[in-house]
A and B are shown apart, each in its own frame.
Chain A
Amino acid sequence: MRTVLIVFAKEIIENLRDRRTLASALIMGPIFGPVLFAFVINLSIERSLEDIERTLELTVLGQAHAPNLVRYLGSRNIEVVDGPPDRAAAIEAVKTGKHDIVLIIPEAFGEQLADTVPAKVELVSDQANTDADREARRVRNALNAYNQELASLRLSARGINPMVLGPINIDEVDVSTASGRSAMLLGMMSYFFIFATLMGGMYLAIDATAGERERGSLEPLLSLPVTRDQLILGKIGATCVYMALSLTLSLTSFYVVLKFLPLQQLGMTPNFSPGVVLATFLLFAPFILLGAALMTLVASFTKSYREAQTWLSVVLIAPTLPILIVSILTLRPKLEFMFVPSLSQHLLLVDMVKNEPVNNLHVAISVLSTLFFGALLTWICARLYRREGLLG
């Protein structure tokens, strides 16, 4: 135990002086996640606000043929501007991206309306352009509404109740709570926490094998009267401390960022109180050991520092896979999922953030199974540290 502590203390001190380790443990993981998160959230807030408030400029060809329609569009916050001279030019303009959408009103429009023949208008857009698609939808909605209004007027003029056209009245009841709506977006958080946790220990994990070997300090170290188990345990221990530090900073910076983001505007009120922050730390703590052992294990197979870095960036992505699959399939937390590290932490965090009751059995399984896998990988690491191939 004394030897483990000596190795542990040396690794802590040495890495405190290593700018690269500090940058990844204290800056990359903890700051990168929240900043990216704030950026994404801000973008979606801006977008959703834009859609309602912003005046849409609509290029219209032949607005003189439908003055009433133009006025109606104006009332829907759609400002009509003059467009290209003819239909071919209009199509070309959309193709080249000069205009996102062009509404073409043919000369016969007024006449057809008067004759109660369906009056033709053309909406030219590029369906592959998602931005244009949203604008086209807005214009289409406005045109549909105008269509409805004219139809109602015609029916009234013929003494028919316009309500015959609406046999069904659809009323949507949204039962999601404000916290619930947060969950989707805030589900991203769990990955940022895992990312920050892993980043915090990445360089220490590489150092334990590939780094020591490349520097030529591994052989002198192994020729000392200490067991290799003691060495690897001290190193994994120090890795865990840096990872815990990185996780703590990441949680703190998220807590701060969430305070300043106008999430209410998106209809979200995530529950990320100090209590939840603490619970999240405890929930993710078992993952620290697992991550440290996993990274050390992967790095021990590599031949050089550089190769280790390459492989560890794969390890950084691996924990997202179960989260991604479950998010795409929108699966609800189930008992089986709690055996899967990273996934169980993600699902439980989402529950907490949604302010839903957390199943204690699920928590227990998550903690125990993650710890079990962590211990197993640590044992495998120690086994591998004993082999001769370690020297490269």
Chain B
Amino acid sequence: MIGVDGIYKSFGAVRAVRGVSFVAPDGKITGLLGPNGAGKSTTLRVLYTVLKPDRGSAVIDGIDVINDSLRARQRIGALPHGSGLYPHLTARENVAYFARLCGIDKSEVDDRVDEIIRLLEIESFAERRTKGFSQGQRTKVSLARALVHDPQNILLDEPSNGLDVMATRSLRHLILKLKDAGRCVLFSSHVMQEVAALCDDVCIIAKGQVAINDSIDGIRERTGCDGLEDAFVRAIHMVGDE
């Protein structure tokens, strides 16, 4: 379970996040929806502990991400935006490297990596070096790498970027599988259809603030719009400039 409570983060004069709060419960898929530059990535970066918020707090399974970041990181699997692989290592080696760093014992690494490779259907290119992989192949390997230690909380930053229809479909299946396994999935996107098709809860972010945070039906109801697109636009305009 992920809880975010009033976080602020500025980069110089740019106030990227201004008091974002939400909760992403276990066994549910929570979507962070917002236009480009709304503060989705910054929020996720705070959660996977590469950024420290200026103010506010966040917890992962009750562990504070600021003061206890090492333990918090043990509970998450993250797919940062534009994740890259090590081009001179094979897909399997890329995944195994992360597995080892996550503390999986050497004797268990092979089995665990095999399992995740099957789950993500990357057997056919698992033994190839990742140099020259397609975007879809890269995303799959990055996902395998993020999930190899079977984390309870999964943070995905625009995972469907650059994926074709088939790859997007299999990604969607995977996310649903994780939900059924009782995981907490938090993913960001600027594509409404994707969010609508997958998410239980949606947190719409604009200009670094939460515009609305509800279930899909709840959002329709509160904005008085039937279509999600209109609801999205309406919600964004609900946020003041300062």
Q: Tell me, in angstroms, the Cα distance from A391 to B85 when the chains sit together.
A: 16
Which of A6, A223, A391 contacts B78 (CB under 8 A)? A223
Asked if B101 contacts A3 (CB within 8 A), the reply is yes
Which of A6, A219, A388, A391 contacts B101 (CB under 8 A)? A6
Q: Tell me, in angstroms, the Cα distance from A221 to B86 when the chains sit together.
A: 11
Asked if A224 contacts B80 (CB within 8 A), the reply is no
Chain A contacts for B37, CB-based, 8 A: none
A388-B87 CB under 8 A given contacts A220-B78, A220-B145, A223-B73: no
- The answer, yes or no, to whether B186 is at the interface (CB within 8 Å) is no
Chain A contacts for B133, CB-based, 8 A: none
Asked if B103 contacts A223 (CB within 8 A), the reply is no
- The answer, yes or no, to whether A216 is at the interface (CB within 8 Å) is yes
A220-B79 CB under 8 A given contacts A14-B88, A215-B87, A388-B50: yes
| Count of A-B contacts judged by CB separation below 8 Å | 76
A1-19 CB contacts (< 8 Å) to partner B: 3, 6-7, 10, 13-15, 17-18
Interface of A is mostly: helix
A216-B74 CB under 8 A given contacts A3-B101, A224-B101, A225-B103: no
Asked if A219 contacts B73 (CB within 8 A), the reply is no
Asked if A216 contacts B50 (CB within 8 A), the reply is no
Asked if B84 contacts A223 (CB within 8 A), the reply is no
- The answer, yes or no, to whether B198 is at the interface (CB within 8 Å) is no
- The answer, yes or no, to whether B52 is at the interface (CB within 8 Å) is yes
Q: Of all chain A residues, which has the CB nearest B72?
A: A225
Q: Tell me, in angstroms, the Cα distance from A17 to B101 when the chains sit together.
A: 21
Asked if A220 contacts B142 (CB within 8 A), the reply is yes
- The answer, yes or no, to whether A48 is at the interface (CB within 8 Å) is no
Chain A contacts for B81, CB-based, 8 A: 219
Chain A contacts for B48, CB-based, 8 A: 219, 223
Q: Tell me, in angstroms, the Cα distance from A217 to B50 when the chains sit together.
A: 13
Asked if B86 contacts A215 (CB within 8 A), the reply is yes
A388-B83 CB under 8 A given contacts A224-B73, A225-B103: no
| 0/1 interface trace, chain B 91-112, chain A, CB 8 Å (1 if under) | 0010001101111000000000
Which of B49, B89, B101 contacts A7 (CB under 8 A)? B101
- The answer, yes or no, to whether A165 is at the interface (CB within 8 Å) is no
Q: Tell me, in angstroms, the Cα distance from A223 to B129 when the chains sit together.
A: 23
Which of A7, A216, A227 contacts B70 (CB under 8 A)? A227
- The answer, yes or no, to whether B51 is at the interface (CB within 8 Å) is yes
Which bucket holds chain A's interface residue count?
A: 20 to 34
- The answer, yes or no, to whether B82 is at the interface (CB within 8 Å) is yes
Q: Tell me, in angstroms, the Cα distance from A215 to B84 when the chains sit together.
A: 5
Asked if A225 contacts B97 (CB within 8 A), the reply is no
Asked if B83 contacts A220 (CB within 8 A), the reply is yes
Q: How far is the CB of A226 from chain B (nearest CB, A)?
A: 5
Which of B73, B79, B84 contacts A225 (CB under 8 A)? B73
A224-B84 CB under 8 A given contacts A388-B52, A391-B50: no
Q: Tell me, in angstroms, the Cα distance from A3 to B146 when the chains sit together.
A: 17
Which of A13, A225, A388 contacts B89 (CB under 8 A)? A13
| 0/1 interface trace, chain B 112-150, chain A, CB 8 Å (1 if under) | 000000000000000001000000000000100110000
Q: How far is the CB of B108 from chain A (nearest CB, A)?
A: 14
Q: Tell me, in angstroms, the Cα distance from A334 to B49 when the chains sit together.
A: 51
- The answer, yes or no, to whether B76 is at the interface (CB within 8 Å) is yes
Chain A contacts for B86, CB-based, 8 A: 10, 14, 215, 217
Max count, chain B CB within 10 A of own CB: residue among A6, A224, A226, A391 = A224
- The answer, yes or no, to whether A222 is at the interface (CB within 8 Å) is yes
A6-B100 CB under 8 A given contacts A220-B83, A223-B76, A388-B52: yes
Q: Tell me, in angstroms, the Cα distance from A14 to B130 when the chains sit together.
A: 12
Q: Of all chain A residues, which has the CB nearest B84?
A: A216
A219-B80 CB under 8 A given contacts A224-B73, A224-B98, A388-B52: yes
| 0/1 interface trace, chain B 25-38, chain A, CB 8 Å (1 if under) | 00000000000000
Q: Tell me, in angstroms, the Cα distance from A13 to B103 when the chains sit together.
A: 20
Chain B contacts for A13, CB-based, 8 A: 89, 93
Q: Of all chain A residues, which has the CB nearest B49?
A: A223
Q: Of all chain B residues, which has the CB nearest A19?
A: B88
Which of A17, A216, A220, A391 contacts B98 (CB under 8 A)? A220
Max count, chain A CB within 10 A of own CB: residue among B71, B103, B142 = B103
Max count, chain B CB within 10 A of own CB: residue among A6, A10, A13, A219 = A219
Asked if A10 contacts B102 (CB within 8 A), the reply is no
Asked if B102 contacts A216 (CB within 8 A), the reply is no
Asked if A222 contacts B50 (CB within 8 A), the reply is yes
Q: What are the 10 A-B residue pairs with the smallest beta carbon separation, nearest first?
A: A216-B84, A219-B80, A215-B84, A223-B48, A17-B88, A225-B74, A223-B78, A225-B73, A217-B84, A216-B82
List 23 interface pairs A-B (beta carbons < 8 Å), by A numbering. Answer: A14-B86, A14-B88, A17-B88, A17-B129, A215-B86, A216-B83, A217-B84, A219-B48, A219-B81, A220-B79, A220-B80, A220-B145, A221-B101, A223-B49, A224-B98, A225-B70, A225-B73, A225-B74, A227-B70, A388-B50, A388-B51, A391-B45, A391-B51
Question: Given A217-B86, A219-B83, A388-B51, 4 more contacts at CB 8 Å?
Answer: A6-B100, A215-B86, A223-B50, A388-B52
